[in-house]
Structure 1
């Protein structure tokens, strides 16, 4: 009679291969376990790290940790298939009584880490959202100033220039027109007097 137990599996992968094709490698490791009837309860990828000593010439690697329940008879097949996988540099599968407690601790730590990351992301987005509103008000103010400037420009264009270099056409006022009319009359009277005087001289 086969007995189902909780196992811990640790799989080592070269850092270079993990960086370029991790998704495919993780699928292979999971299939390696599940194809033999085992059920993965929890799994996590560890950060890249320097190995204590080179393994098959590799100095840096990434570990994939998996807790899974399996019949004791399937473990030998899982180990055998793992040794044939070229992506897996080394693997270790153990079964201990404390694994349930260890798995629970890791699940709790992962949940706290995810919650902390979500909170940090939300706080990081707050300043960006707050900065958007003042910017909008500033743009509105700038638009208003631009409108006032445009209005001033139109008014200034309609007014005559006060510059000393500007040439302004004179505007005849009613008083100027009356004075001009009087000058014309006076000039005409003077011309008439001169003509009369000239005629009298010719007669004499």
Structure 2
């Protein structure tokens, strides 16, 4: 068998080979980066509210909403990740052991979500009422509590037929519809009735 002598690369060829190696490394790194981005895209995006899970149910974006009059609700998104095809039912929601009213279908289909919020927000989202089974399902929540103010935190317990989960959620003011609330003379946010009453009293004083 003939022995072959490998000659060293000429400077120009060597530079070309190094360029190819560098380009290959860059492509490999780009491939790794692309893979990381792809993996990130499959993850659930970060949300403002609190999150928790129990068995095959995940709960995200949990926020207690309270308006100037003390009424509000609980905003959250619950997902059924069961791969066996079983439904999940939301049984109850409580804030500081006080029950939250739930209006709507609380059944979550497999690989589907339940979206809960106060009435104005749900009414804008729940446009398709003819799909059966619905995915996602929408639930209107209601809550009236004393000593509940935006900026604080409250324990929210969500009980499903698969188990319960408790998260410490932020208390926030809901985004009002245009013309729903007014800023009073002292700078506080109020509804139309109180706004007119305050201005009437100021006019009488003057």
Superposition TM-score tier, normalisation by shorter sequence:
under 0.3
Judging by fraction of residues, say which structure has more helix: 1
TM-score by length of 1: 0.22
TM-score by length of 2: 0.22
Question: Taking CA–CA contacts closer than 8 Å with sequence separation of 6 or more, which of the two structures ends up with the larger relative contact order?
Answer: 1
